[in-house]
Structure 1
Amino acid sequence: MQTKKLRGKVALVTGASRGLGRAIALALGQAGADVALTDILIEGQEQDLGKLGRYSVLAGHFAQSGEVNTLLGAREIQFMGSRSCAFKMDVADLDEVGRVVHMIETELGPIDILVNNAAVMDNLGKFEDQQPERWQRDLNVNLTGAYHCSKAVWPGMVKKGWGRIINISSVAGLMGASLQPSYGATKAGLIGLSKSLAIEAGRYGITVNTVCPGFIATEAVQLYDERMTERIAKRTVLKRMGQPEEVAHVVAFLASDGAAYITGAVIPVTGGIDLLTL
């Protein structure tokens, strides 16, 4: 039986509709935390908001197709015995972040654990073909979004004298990423943000750490063809892709009292892909 080491804590996970975010939210729920899941509605999918209410997840086709599963994740966490809710939130919008954080804290209580997972990776291609507006979007979501969310929960953590901020970067933030300059740059920036916040946060009992996943079997892998997938997996020391749960377990540990003396750390969960250059 899994120990409920996070019982009594309230967590916010951004970008929680699928992939790593969903796995992280479920892992925190399994550890006993009450969890708020947030994600952004895709344009054109805002159908029947009256029925959806505050939930960011979409019913019918989109839920069944696995496109957006935030509400389903919240319900699964509730079945585990923890409280959970789901909200629409655009992390790039500071005002919206403030409003949603207030709603979460009204429903679940002050946020103890923040996992900045929301990210986009759609500015792919040669540098000369990069679109400035997509560069800005990557920056707004991947880096500024983490700043917005951290700023929103910071006062409550300072007041309580306890907090965990866990930023999900990427191996691309450690090594760079071919044909993904904006993604690599924002993920590297997230590491810098984490270390800078960690220095200031320590006096308040808040830890700030970064997790850098490698090649993980999420929906994003569908961007690659099978041959590329196999080639990248072979570049890891372990010769396989990672699973979302393997990243989520690391996050759950960093959120716990067992990681109380870890801050400013950058933890690669990469299968060793960052070790091999030949």
Structure 2
Amino acid sequence: MTDADQSQDNSTDPTGGATARSVLVTGGSRGIGRAIAERFAAAGHRVATTSRSGEAPAGVLGVRCDITDAGQVEAAFTQIEEAHGPVEVLVANAGITKDTLVLRMTDEDWQQVIDTNLTGSFRVAKRAVRPMIRGRFGRIIFISSVVGLLGSAGQVNYAASKAGLLGMARSLAREVGSRGITANVIAPGFIETDMTAELADDLVAGYKKQIPLGRLGATEDVTAAVEFLAGDAAGYITGAQIPVDGGLGMGH
């Protein structure tokens, strides 16, 4: 079938005639990462997720991988490339927290968060870039946090790791933009997930008072932004940070 034929008949094409891509979502077994993987799979893309534990969504290739281990990252990419071809859309979502006040924060608390959230994101982006350069197409999307903009007591390590993603994305945007590769950041605010469901009601109420829209976000708010940045319509957007936070981080 020719490209023209495909554009005329999209009735059975879940991508709506758009190019089906090879997509990797790190940390895709739960929460926002899982929702992102499900959205891409529903749109007809070839989707893989990595995680240290947990199961991938239905129809998604799940690969065990600790992104703090360079050998595991290489093995994961090799497995994904054999199944789906080179990764064309990378969503670097995997992250952890080790929250405590700075006077109690150990070097290990600091290092584990930086190694996963920042160095791990660097590692998967570096591995994805070379095939993207050869293919002259790529979308790299880092999942940051409003905390990286605002700061948060007890999260010095987490805030630093998430803030660093913007510098990484903008440097990548300058390095590889001429090869058709974009690098952007999405900074979610307080999103309703299994983790936020465990928070006390009074704490959630306090968060809502700080948010101009007066509510927590839904995973769909984040996945819609990710899908947009991954698509053809966002081909002229790079080095950007898009807040999905109900206005909480305005001005930062």
TM-score normalised by length of structure 2: 0.91
Q: For the structure 1 residues 222 and 179, does the alpha-carbon distance in structure 2 shift closer, same or farther, using more than 3 Å as the test?
A: farther
Q: Distance in 1 between matches of 2:18 and 2:121?
A: 22
195, 208, 211: which is aligned to 2:170?
Answer: 195
Equivalent residue for 1:111? 87
Q: Distance in 2 between matches of 1:251 and 1:20?
A: 11
Q: Distance in 1 between matches of 2:96 and 2:149?
A: 17
197, 220, 242: which is aligned to 1:245?
Answer: 220
Q: Which SS does the other structure have where 1:92 is aligned?
A: coil
Q: Which runs of 5+ in 1 are unaligned?
A: 42-67, 79-83
Equivalent residue for 2:234? 259
Equivalent residue for 1:233? 208
Q: Distance in 1 between matches of 2:173 and 2:24?
A: 19
Q: Distance in 2 between matches of 1:112 and 1:221?
A: 31
* TM-superposed deviation, 1:221: 1.4
Moved more, 125-134 or 2-11: 2-11
Q: Answer yes or no: is the 8 Å Cα contact 1:233–1:240 preserved in 2.
A: yes
Matched, 1:182 2:168: no
Q: For the structure 1 residues 5 and 247, does the alpha-carbon distance in structure 2 shift closer, same or farther, using more than 3 Å as the test?
A: farther
Q: Which SS does the other structure have where 2:142 is aligned?
A: strand
Q: Answer yes or no: is the 8 Å Cα contact 2:91–2:142 preserved in 1.
A: yes
Q: Report the aligned-residue RMSD.
A: 1.7
Q: Which SS does the other structure have where 2:32 is aligned?
A: helix
Q: Distance in 2 between matches of 1:3 and 1:188?
A: 33
TM-score normalised by length of structure 1: 0.83
* TM-superposed deviation, 1:224: 2.9
Equivalent residue for 2:114? 139
* TM-superposed deviation, 1:90: 0.5
Q: For the structure 1 residues 234 and 99, does the alpha-carbon distance in structure 2 shift closer, same or farther, using more than 3 Å as the test?
A: same
Q: Given residue 107 of structure 1, which amino acid in structure 2 is its aligned partner?
A: A
Q: Given residue 69 of structure 1, which amino acid in structure 2 is its aligned partner?
A: E
Q: For the structure 1 residues 140 and 223, does the alpha-carbon distance in structure 2 shift closer, same or farther, using more than 3 Å as the test?
A: farther
Equivalent residue for 1:69? 55
1:191-225 Cα distance to aligned partner (Å, 9 max, x none): 11111111111011100000000000112214532
Q: Distance in 2 between matches of 1:94 and 1:226?
A: 41
Equivalent residue for 2:22? 10
Matched, 1:224 2:199: yes
Kindly report structure 1 stretches of 4+ aligned residues shifted beyond 2 Å.
Answer: 1-8
70, 82, 99: which is aligned to 2:75?
Answer: 99
Where do residues 157-168 of structure 1 align in structure 2 (5 Å cutoff)? 157-168=132-143
205, 229, 232: which is aligned to 2:180?
Answer: 205
Q: For the structure 1 residues 5 and 168, does the alpha-carbon distance in structure 2 shift closer, same or farther, using more than 3 Å as the test?
A: farther
Q: Answer yes or no: is the 8 Å Cα contact 1:36–1:85 preserved in 2.
A: yes
Equivalent residue for 2:4? none
Q: Given residue 118 of structure 2, which amino acid in structure 1 is its aligned partner?
A: L
1:222-258 Cα distance to aligned partner (Å, 9 max, x none): 4532211111022111100001111001000100001
Moved more, 227-236 or 206-215: 227-236
Q: Distance in 2 between matches of 1:4 and 1:243?
A: 25
1:147-203 Cα distance to aligned partner (Å, 9 max, x none): 110111111000000000000000011111121100000000111111111111101
Q: Given residue 226 of structure 2, which amino acid in structure 1 is its aligned partner?
A: V
Q: Distance in 2 between matches of 1:105 and 1:273?
A: 39
88, 91, 94: which is aligned to 2:64?
Answer: 88
1:94-122 Cα distance to aligned partner (Å, 9 max, x none): 1110111011000111110000000001x
Q: Given residue 88 of structure 1, which amino acid in structure 2 is its aligned partner?
A: R
Q: Distance in 1 between matches of 2:66 and 2:243?
A: 27
* TM-superposed deviation, 1:30: 2.1
